[in-house]
């Protein structure tokens, strides 16, 4: 993953680079570094751990770098080599004149490293990136042209990369390029920027050029030149960025995650606006670019996604099959791309991704696109690589999500699936009309219900404290909420590091029940509907094994207090949309446990917000 940033201009280079890296911290945060050209020398500064360590170091060294007018920076999520200062970027060559920052993975780095070592290159780190530094330096030695050196070097690279490179002998210049990793160029006046993502530059400019794969940009303070892989000069397309810097503020909440949980009612309202006016009207989903006949005759849908987005897809499968009678397969993108999958032009392939950048999902949709399938992308980033591959694009408009743990983007993805399923059912006539109206009505009532629920979280906080010392946690559910159990468990494990697992409740007795004893909390998700009684009996099986019992329910049955140690009540909702209501308390439970344990809620260890490596 990692985040990179570059700046050429007259402002304080160190401040701009570290400011940009702060905004990219969601991409990785195990070490960071910058390289600047100051007083005719390439100077590199790196620090292990959080970005603050680098900021402190740069403050100490400010006299050494004050004259710099060009620099590149990097925030790392380790792939090759442990997170320490040596492995932190920027990396350099034997002479130390060149510096490179890299996001991605160079797959053939071992072969290249052997060849370069045979030619006398001395490697200091365990990273794949250092190969790029030596390779470009070597090509520069041959050509004395940095852009050409980058072009020749990258033609030998396999894998994914976004690169920014500076060289001591090439004043006030950054050469930037990419393949299968994001990189945009920020266009300023008398200054220019490069970055992995919009938040790193939005404070400085709203104009940007999205680089395509294999394009090379040469940035100077007053010019940006763009070249294709054959060295032909091309006209850059400057786009206006739709982002507001205010979105990155915590707005008084202790953590971004808590703020983002509280934003969910508005995320739902926002999503519905323009698509559903009243429950009696049909949905308006112009984003779906398939004509009515093709939609009517769709005989298969495949959904690919990872992590939380995969859980949204599982709910999507349930709802589409229920309303539209179209078979839906859901698969983790990382599995989908390494087996023979049967898709063709009659299959609709849906990619779901908050970031729109996840490498496995991007590869999966590219594969299906090549086989002729219509690609529908559900994403929070309409400016992402996936969005650019889409035939149909449903932007979920949840606003930038900073916390690594996905919350509001999940709810927004669920909304996208609900509206898509309702839209398809309306076209196909596959579901009872009055039942559809009831469902739409319930969707419109949801924001108020969630708002009301969010005003009373004392019981969840108390429950969180009570169970925060547990080493393990089990979440059980059935039917449409099985995905909720998985998502609840994922939230808890990723931010509190408690081992949590979600099971379909009926599976408990096929193995997991052996683990139950008086130390293990079992949280039963029991939303009213078809499987309520079934899951209640599964919960009873846990009680009989002395498990610690928590219920999450919209039932007001007083008997539950006799069975469960804690009953977490949520407002009553339609069974089919209960996954949206049920996930809110589970997000809060994970949040309060992690917060109580003093964990780094917004930036949990070992994780990154966008996973741009396979």
Contact assessment for residue 399 and residue 411, using Cβ atoms and an 8 Å cutoff: no
d(C-alpha 363, C-alpha 119), whole Å: 35
Cα–Cα distances (Å) from 362 to 24, 359, 368, 435, 613, in that order, read 21, 5, 10, 36, 10
Q: Give me the least distance between CB of 353 and ligand M6R, in Å please.
A: 3
Q: Which of 178, 440, 491, 609 is catalytic?
A: 609
d(C-alpha 324, C-alpha 233), whole Å: 50
Q: Give me the least distance between CB of 524 and ligand M6R, in Å please.
A: 22
Mark residue 392 as left, alpha or beta (left: phi above 0; alpha: psi -120 to 50; beta: remaining): beta
Angle at 577 between CA 576 and CA 579, to 5 degrees: 105
d(C-alpha 106, C-alpha 102), whole Å: 10
Q: Give me the least distance between CB of 614 and ligand M6R, in Å please.
A: 12
The arrangement of strands across the sheet holding 192-195 comes to 41-48, 31-38, 70-76, 3-8, 192-195, 184-187, 207-210, 239-240
**CA 517, 521, 526, 527: dihedral to nearest 10 degrees?**
-170
Q: Which residue, 341 or 409, has its beta carbon nearer to ligand M6R?
A: 409
Q: Give me the least distance between CB of 309 and ligand M6R, in Å please.
A: 4
Angle at 591 between CA 585 and CA 592, to 5 degrees: 90
d(C-alpha 488, C-alpha 576), whole Å: 18
Q: Which of 2, 121, 164, 463 is catalytic?
A: 2
- When CB distances to ligand M6R are compared, the closest residue is 307
Copy the structure tokens of residue 133. 């530094």
Burial class of residue 213, CB neighbours in 10 A (0-12, 13-18, 19+): middle
Nearest to 487 by CA among 501, 499, 497: 501
Q: Which residue, 351 or 529, has its beta carbon nearer to ligand M6R?
A: 351
Q: Which residue, 276 or 404, has its beta carbon nearer to ligand M6R?
A: 404
Q: Which residue, 227 or 271, has its beta carbon nearer to ligand M6R?
A: 271
Q: Report the helix count and the strand count for the chain, using DSSP H and E.
A: 20, 25
Q: Please tell me whether residue 254 adopts helix, strand or coil conformation.
A: coil
Contact assessment for residue 196 and residue 3, using Cβ atoms and an 8 Å cutoff: yes
Contact assessment for residue 96 and residue 166, using Cβ atoms and an 8 Å cutoff: no
Q: Give me the least distance between CB of 96 and ligand M6R, in Å please.
A: 36
Q: Give me the least distance between CB of 357 and ligand M6R, in Å please.
A: 6
Q: Give me the least distance between CB of 271 and ligand M6R, in Å please.
A: 16
Neighbouring CB atoms inside 10 A of 555's CB total 17
Q: Give me the least distance between CB of 479 and ligand M6R, in Å please.
A: 22
Copy the structure tokens of residue 439. 């469902």
Burial class of residue 156, CB neighbours in 10 A (0-12, 13-18, 19+): middle
Q: Give me the least distance between CB of 87 and ligand M6R, in Å please.
A: 23
Q: Give me the least distance between CB of 252 and ligand M6R, in Å please.
A: 23
Please list the alpha-helical segments (H only) found in 379-515: 385-389, 408-428, 433-454, 458-467, 482-496
d(C-alpha 83, C-alpha 514), whole Å: 38
Q: Which residue, 377 or 535, has its beta carbon nearer to ligand M6R?
A: 377
Q: Give me the least distance between CB of 407 and ligand M6R, in Å please.
A: 8
Q: Which residue, 105 or 165, has its beta carbon nearer to ligand M6R?
A: 105
Q: Which residue, 187 or 611, has its beta carbon nearer to ligand M6R?
A: 611
Nearest to 588 by CA among 431, 480, 462: 462
Q: Which residue, 477 or 613, has its beta carbon nearer to ligand M6R?
A: 613
* Residue 112 backbone dihedrals phi, psi, to 5 degrees: -65, -40
Neighbouring CB atoms inside 10 A of 438's CB total 14
Q: Which residue, 79 or 430, has its beta carbon nearer to ligand M6R?
A: 79
- DSSP track, 309-330: HHHHHHHHHHHHHHHH---EEE
- Binding region for ligand M6R (CB under 6 A): 306-309, 353-355, 358, 361, 404-406, 490, 494, 610-611
Is 2 considered catalytic here?
A: yes
Please list the alpha-helical segments (H only) found in 144-263: 146-154, 256-262
List, by residue number, the catalytic residues: 2, 609
């Amino acid at each position: 993953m990692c985040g990179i940033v570059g700046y050429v201009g007259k402002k304080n280079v160190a401040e701009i680079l570290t400011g940009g890296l702060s905004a990219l911290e969601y991409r990785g945060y195990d070490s960071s570094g910058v390289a600047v050209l100051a007083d005719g020398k390439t100077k590199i500064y790196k620090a292990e751990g959080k970005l603050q360590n680098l900021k402190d170091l740069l403050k100490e060294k400010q006299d050494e770098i004050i004259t710099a007018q060009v620099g590149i920076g990097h925030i790392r999520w380790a792939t090759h080599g442990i997170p320490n200062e040596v492995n932190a970027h920027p990396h350099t060559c034997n002479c130390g004149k060149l510096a490179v920052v890299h996001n991605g993975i160079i797959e053939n780095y071992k072969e290249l490293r052997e060849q370069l070592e045979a030619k006398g290159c001395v490697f200091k780190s365990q990273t794949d990136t250092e190969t790029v530094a030596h390779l470009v330096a070597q090509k520069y030695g041959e050509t004395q042209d940095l852009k050409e050196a980058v072009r020749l070097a990258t033609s030998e690279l396999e894998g994914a990369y976004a690169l920014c490179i500076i060289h001591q002998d090439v004043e006030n210049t950054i050469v930037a390029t990419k393949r299968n990793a994001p990189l945009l160029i920020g266009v300023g006046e008398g200054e220019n920027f490069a970055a992995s993502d919009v938040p790193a530059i939005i404070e400085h400019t709203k104009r940007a050029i999205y680089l395509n794969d294999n394009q090379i940009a040469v940035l100077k303070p007053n010019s940006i030149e763009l070249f294709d892989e054959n060295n032909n000069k091309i006209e850059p397309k400057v786009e206006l960025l739709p982002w507001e810097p205010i979105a990155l503020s915590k707005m008084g909440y202790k953590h971004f995650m808590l703020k983002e949980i509280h934003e969910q009612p508005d995320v739902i309202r926002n999503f519905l606006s323009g698509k559903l006016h009243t429950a009696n009207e049909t949905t308006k989903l112009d984003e779906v670019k398939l004509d009515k006949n093709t939609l009517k005759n769709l005989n298969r849908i495949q959904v690919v996604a990872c992590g939380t987005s995969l859980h949204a897809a599982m709910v999507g499968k349930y709802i589409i099959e229920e309303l539209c009678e179209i078979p839906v397969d859901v698969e983790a993108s990382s599995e989908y791309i390494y087996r023979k999958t049967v898709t063709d032009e009659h299959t609709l392939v849906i990619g779901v991704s908050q970031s729109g950048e996840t490498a496995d999902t991007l590869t999966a949709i590219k594969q299906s696109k090549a086989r002729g399938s219509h690609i529908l992308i559900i994403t929070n980033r309409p400016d992402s690589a996936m969005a650019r591959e889409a035939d149909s694009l449903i932007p979920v408009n949840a606003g930038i999500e900073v916390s690594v743990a996905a919350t509001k983007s999940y709810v927004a993805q669920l909304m996208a699936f609900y509206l898509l399923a309702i839209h398809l059912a309306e076209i196909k006539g596959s579901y009872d009309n009055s039942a559809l109206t009831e469902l739409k009505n319930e969707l419109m009532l949801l924001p108020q219900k969630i708002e009301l629920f969010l005003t009373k979280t004392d019981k969840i906080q108390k429950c969180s404290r009570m169970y925060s010392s547990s080493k393990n946690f089990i979440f059980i559910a059935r039917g449409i909420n099985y995905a909720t159990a998985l998502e609840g468990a994922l939230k808890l494990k990723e931010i509190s590091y408690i081992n949590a697992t979600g099971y379909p409740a009926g599976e408990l007795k096929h193995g997991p029940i052996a683990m139950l004893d008086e130390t293990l909390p079992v949280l039963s998700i029991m939303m009213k509907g078809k499987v309520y009684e079934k899951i209640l009996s599964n919960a009873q099986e846990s009680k009989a094994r002395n498990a610690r019992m928590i219920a999450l329910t919209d039932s007001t049955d007083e008997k539950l207090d006799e069975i469960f140690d804690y009953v977490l009540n949520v407002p009553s909702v339609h069974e089919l949309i209960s996954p949206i209501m049920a996930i809110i308390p589970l997000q809060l439970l994970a949040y309060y446990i992690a917060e109580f344990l003093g964990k780094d809620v917004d930036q949990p260890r070992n994780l990154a917000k966008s996973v741009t490596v396979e």
